[in-house]
């Protein structure tokens, strides 16, 4: 890459140095794109989605947030009805969907994407409904990586496309 000015070079070098400072990005678990859909007023459950990259074998030990009483990792299998508003109907008449709680286990050098239609973190017993534009804190604790504090964005669709 050709940098045309001295300022540009300086900026590039500075950016690289900053990127290398502190805990090395390559060596650490990274969670990104953490988001959840708004919930209807009568519902007290919500699904949270994210992407996780881990250089080493790891597993999710605990999920905590002060917005919900309990959390779990769920997998939906079987038919699911998407009512177009981004809500999955669990157990509504005419649908076959089973939810199974599984561990979130990471293989070395792996990437896990939690997206609508697939695995997601389930929040149950919401203290108050999620509203578009809201943000709240979520703490993930991984066995090897330790605590990761995240900010969840509430949006109707994936904010990062």
Partner 1 sequence: MRVEEIETIERQQAEASKRWRNLWRVHFYSGIIVAPFLVMFAITGLVILYTQPIQDGLQSDLRRVEAGSEMVSFDVQAETVESDIGDDMIVSLTPPRDAGSSTVFGLDSGRSAYVNPYTGEFLGADESQTTLVRWANTFHGHLNNDSLTVSLPAVSALWDGDKVMRDYVVGDLILELAGTWLVILALTGLYLFWPRTSREAKSEVNGKRMWSFRLGKKGRARWRDLHALPGAVLFIMLLFVAASGLPWSTYWGPNFTALANEISPNTWTDAPASAVGVKGDLDRLGNQINWNTGDVPIPASYRPESGAETPTPLSLDSVVQIASEEGMKPNYTIHFPSNGVDDAGNPLYGSFTVSNSWPRKTGEAKDVFIDQFSGATLGQQDVYGYGSVSQAVDTTVSIHMGTQWGIVSRILMTLTCVLTLWSVISAVVMYSKRRRRGTLGLPRRPAEVHLGRGLVVIAVVVGVVYPQWGASALLILAFDKFVIQRNRRLKVAFGQRS
Point out which residues bind partner 1 (CB under 8 A): 22-24, 27, 55-59, 61-62, 64-66, 68-70, 72, 100-103, 127, 137, 139, 141, 143-149
Q: Which is nearer to partner 1, 61 or 81 (CB)?
A: 61
Q: Which is nearer to partner 1, 39 or 71 (CB)?
A: 71
What string of DSSP letters covers the chain?
----SHHHHHHHHHHHHHHHSSS-GGGS-EEEEEEE----TT--EEEEEEEEEESS-EEEEEEE-TTEEEEEEEEEES--EE-SSSPEESS-TT---EEEE---EE-TTEEEEE-TTS-EEEEEEESS---TT-EEEEEEEETTTEEEEEEEEE-SS-TT-
Name the minimum Å distance from CB 85 to partner 1.
28
Q: Which is nearer to partner 1, 58 or 88 (CB)?
A: 58
Name the minimum Å distance from CB 61 to partner 1.
7
Name the minimum Å distance from CB 139 to partner 1.
4
Name the minimum Å distance from CB 48 to partner 1.
15
Q: Which is nearer to partner 1, 89 or 141 (CB)?
A: 141
Q: How many residues are given for the chain?
A: 161
């Amino acid at each position: 890459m050709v940098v045309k000015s001295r300022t540009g070079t300086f900026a590039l070098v500075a950016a690289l140095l900053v990127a290398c400072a502190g805990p090395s990005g390559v060596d650490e678990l990274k969670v990104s794109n953490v988001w959840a859909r708004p919930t209807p007023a009568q519902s007290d459950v919500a699904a949270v989605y994210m992407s996780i990259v881990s250089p080493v074998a790891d597993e999710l030990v605990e999920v905590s947030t002060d917005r919900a009483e309990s959390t779990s990792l769920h997998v939906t299998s079987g038919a699911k009805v998407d009512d177009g508003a981004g809500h999955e109907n669990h157990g509504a008449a005419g649908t076959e969907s089973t939810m199974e709680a599984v561990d979130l286990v990471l293989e070395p050098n792996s990437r896990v994407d939690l997206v609508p239609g697939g695995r997601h973190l389930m929040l149950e017993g919401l203290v108050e409904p999620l509203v578009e534009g809201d943000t709240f804190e979520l703490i993930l604790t991984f066995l090897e990586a330790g605590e990761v504090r995240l900010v969840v964005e509430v949006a109707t669709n994936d904010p990062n496309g």
